[in-house]
Amino acid sequence: MKASAPGKIILFGEHAVVYGRPALAVPVTQIHADVEVLDAPRSGIWIDAPDINLHAELNTLPSDHPIASAIHNFLFISRLSPFPNLDIKIASSIPVASGLGSGAAVTVALVRGLSSHLKFPMSDEEVNSFAYEIEKLHHGTPSGIDNTVVTYAKPVYFVKGQPIEILRVAKPFTIVIGDTGISAPTKKSVGDVRKLWEADKAKWEVMFDQVADIAKKARAAIESGTSMDLGKLMNQNHALLQEMTVSSTRLDRLVSAARNAGALGAKLSGGGRGGNMIALVERDQAEDVARALKEAGAKNTIITVIA
Ligand code: PMV
């Protein structure tokens, strides 16, 4: 049985979302994780994930390995006995540790592949909370935005702990994604922000409120189709992310390059420090902005239309 899950970008509100503020995220379907689950002719549960050079039987992996822990959790909740013999093939075109939701996408595709092959049906809500538990194991205090947008594969307005709200996109808009090529674990930047927040909560709560205000205005812009406003809001959000210490010289360089090449606005996306940035562009400027990003050192670019 085959299952697939998309990558994602956060448009607005990363980091503040961990502290209960709203954030906006959209799926990126050009990149995806694909999982195939088959009956194995030999005993055991065999995992083949060539992108991360993993070829192993489940029980030879440490139990806290992200893929192993997802399979163990699935076997636990589905109460299958005896355990089936399986071949699980995992492929992903989503770069790891770069803010594009690779971990969540692999978990969602994996649990959906297992659920349909082993005839243990799961609703989207169940898949989402399953993936959230795995995110918690590996990312400390995740907001849950990654697993939510990847599970539903729709633009979302997300507030931690609240029912998901699907964004209505009034007018499609184009985003260019630029990859710094630097992998930066989200756990680290989220942990650093937490230390700074603990040291001066009053200051950080004000910044988070400013981000919340931007996210709410962005939602209104998306739902009314006024993408010029969206560009300005991205720039404002990036300035706050810089203040939160989660940008980097490389991210700032790509953000400036995009703006200089005519983008309506640009910001880092996700945990920051490395990973990806995004730029809002008019459709006919997308190639120019992508080229400027490459010239400024982007390892890779993706043009995606949010509809
Ligand atoms: O997984 P990333 O790098 O897109 O970052 C997640 C966004 C954060 O707000 C920084 C963390 C979270 O759990 O929401």
- Burial zone of 172 (CB within 10 Å; 0-12 exposed, 13-18 middle, 19+ buried): exposed
- Do 93 and 48 sit in the same domain of this protein? yes
Task: Give the CATH number for residue 217.
Answer: 3.30.70.890
Angle of helix 249-260 relative to helix 286-295, nearest 10 degrees? 140
Choose one of 129, 158, 187: the last residue of a domain.
Answer: 158
Domain of 221 in residue numbering reads as: 169-306
The answer to whether the CB of 142 is under 6 A from ligand 1 is yes
Tell me the best of 186, 207, 214 to mutate to test the pocket of ligand 1, counting ligand atoms within 8 Å of each CB and taking the most: 186
Catalytic residues: 146
pLDDT tens digits, one per residue of 1-51: 799 999 999 999 999 999 999 999 999 999 999 999 999 999 999 999 999
Please tell me the distance from the alpha carbon of residue 214 to that of residue 265, in angstroms, as a whole number.
13
Residue 55 Cα to ligand 1 middle (Å): 29
Same domain, 14 and 146: yes
For residue 129, the model assigns a pLDDT of 96
Test site for ligand 1: of 9, 11, 12, 17, most ligand atoms within 8 A of the Cβ: 17
**What proportion of the chain, given as a percentage, has pLDDT over 90?**
90
Q: Would you say residue 163 lies in a domain?
A: no
Same domain, 20 and 118: yes
Q: Which atom of ligand 1 is nearest to the CA of 193?
A: 10
**Residue 140 banded pLDDT, cuts 50, 70, 90:** confident
Mean pLDDT throughout 54-59? 96
pLDDT average, residue stretch 182-210: 95
Task: Decide if 234 contacts 278 (C-beta within 8 A).
Answer: yes
Residues 26 and 53 grouped into a single domain: yes
Same domain, 48 and 8: yes
Residue for token pair 């209505």: 168
pTM score, whole prediction: 0.94
Q: pLDDT at residue 114 above 80?
A: yes
Q: Per-residue pLDDT tens for 83-99? A: 889 999 999 999 988 88
Looking at the domain assignment, is residue 26 inside a domain? yes
If you average pLDDT over residues 190-216, what whole number do you get? 97
The answer on 146 and 218 residing in a single domain is no
The mean per-residue pLDDT over the stretch 42-64 comes to 94
Q: What local confidence, expressed as pLDDT, does residue 96 receive? A: 86
In this prediction, residue 1 carries a pLDDT of: 77
Considering the domain architecture, whether residues 154 and 190 belong to the same structural domain is answered as no
Q: What is the mean pLDDT of residues 147-173?
A: 96
Q: Are residues 48 and 142 in the same domain?
A: yes
168: tokens are 């209505």
Euclidean distance between CA atoms 296 and 298, whole angstroms: 6
Q: Is 250 in the pocket of ligand 1 (CB under 6 A)?
A: no
Confidence band for 78, pLDDT divided at 50, 70 and 90? very high
In a domain, 290, yes or no: yes
Q: Note whether 250 and 182 are same-domain residues.
A: yes
Among 96, 133, 139, 145, say which to mutate for ligand 1: greatest number of ligand atoms within 8 Å of CB.
145
CA gap 281, 288 in Å, rounded: 10
Tokens coding 208? 């988070």
Examine the pLDDT at 228 and tell me if it is beyond 90.
no
Q: Whose CA is nearest to atom 13 of ligand 1?
A: 142
The domain tally of the chain equals 2
Residue-wise pLDDT tens digits, 240-293:
999 999 999 999 999 999 999 999 999 999 999 999 999 999 999 999 999 999
Is 99 close to ligand 1, i.e. is its CB under 6 Å away?
yes
Query: For residue 100, which atom of ligand 1 is closest to its CA?
Result: 4
Domain CATH for 114: 3.30.230.10
